[in-house]
Structure 1
């Protein structure tokens, strides 16, 4: 059977995403990634250069994936928050990767690329009418605050699922998340109204 480089890269990527989500950058082991990917360690270094570059590539790809999959619709902020919540429920590894990055790689690698992506989302919200009653620069700040607040409302549920379950007095993570989804949507709706959006 011929060697399939693209399939090998994909297997390495998937195995590394699981490894980094579970163990972080410092705790991840290249030999475990290679074993899980059914590849050799040399292939990992050949395709990605280093463990740090592999981590950065995975994080960049996961952020790109959510950016393509869901966005905040200026005319339906609450519904968008629900869709983003659902995406994170199906892909909890992104929150774990972001937390590991904050703990272990706080140097802002790839920050300019991410900043541009978020600026685009902010400008989309402003163009859609967020805080239309404010001057232009204040509208941008209001849209930034709205975006980041909604991101925080959603992310914390998946960052600390045990705490979510305990605080809400629910028996299971699923029951807690079902309650939280409804609350996040309602809070996002109220935030959008407060920011001058249509309900």
Structure 2
């Protein structure tokens, strides 16, 4: 039987995703990841580098999953945000990973920040090309307005999953599914109103 490097990388990625989601960067242990992935620690270092680089690879991988759901369609932004809301619900680990990153980041820049920033720039440029902030005085202003709009949309979705205890208290809803359904409808409607006013 030959060694399957791609399968090993995939197992390491999945084990690391679970470990970082549960324990964050500081609490995660390479030894636990290796055991869960049925790989040795040397393979982890070979394929991903150190623990911080592995954490960054996990976050970038999750971001890629979102990007493969399709681009943010400015002409159907409410529907696109509804799909994004559903994706976050199916992948609660993503918000948790972002929260861990925010809490534990010891440097001014997150791991892989330049690459991730580039992806968001591409999204903002696509929004500008589709006519977002068309009434802004110049290209730089249009890009800034699109970036603000994108961040607002992401916040409208992510906050619902970032603070489930606050969602439960504010909505006074004991049924989590019902609360998320209410929030999805409210977010989609808010985005529809925002999009109509752009």
1:35-184 counterparts in 2 under 5 A? 35-105=35-105, 106-108=107-109, 109-136=111-138, 137-184=140-187
What is the CA distance between 1:188 and its match in structure 2?
Answer: 0.7
Consecutive aligned runs of 4 or more in structure 1 exceeding 3 Å deviation? none
User: Contact 1:131/1:139 (CA < 8 Å) preserved in 2?
Assistant: yes
- State the aligned residue count: 195
Cα distance in 2 between the residues matched to 1:70 and 1:181: 19
TM normalised by structure 2 equals: 0.92
SS of equivalent to 1:34: helix
Unaligned runs of 5+ in 1: none
| Stretch moving more, 169-178 or 100-109 | 100-109
CA distance in 1, matches of 2:73, 2:183: 21
Offset from partner CA, 1:116-135 (integer Å, 9 cap, x none) = 21111111111111122222
Tell me how far apart the structure 1 counterparts of residues 61 and 71 of structure 2 sit (CA, whole Å). Answer: 16
CA distance in 1, matches of 2:37, 2:118: 33
Contact 1:59 1:97 in 2 (8 A): yes
Task: Answer with 12-21 or 162-171: which moved more.
Answer: 162-171
Q: Could you report, residue by residue, the CA deviation over 1:75-126 in whole angstroms, capped at 9, with x for unpaired residues?
A: 0111111011011111111111111111112431322222221111111111
Aligned partner of residue 146 in structure 1, secondary structure: helix
RMSD between aligned residues: 1.4
Alignment of 1:183-194 (within 5 A): 183-194=186-197
Matches of 1:42 and 1:112, distance apart in 2: 27
Unaligned runs of 5+ in 2: none
TM-score, normalisation: structure 1: 0.92
Measured in 2, the distance between the counterparts of 1:133 and 1:10 equals 46
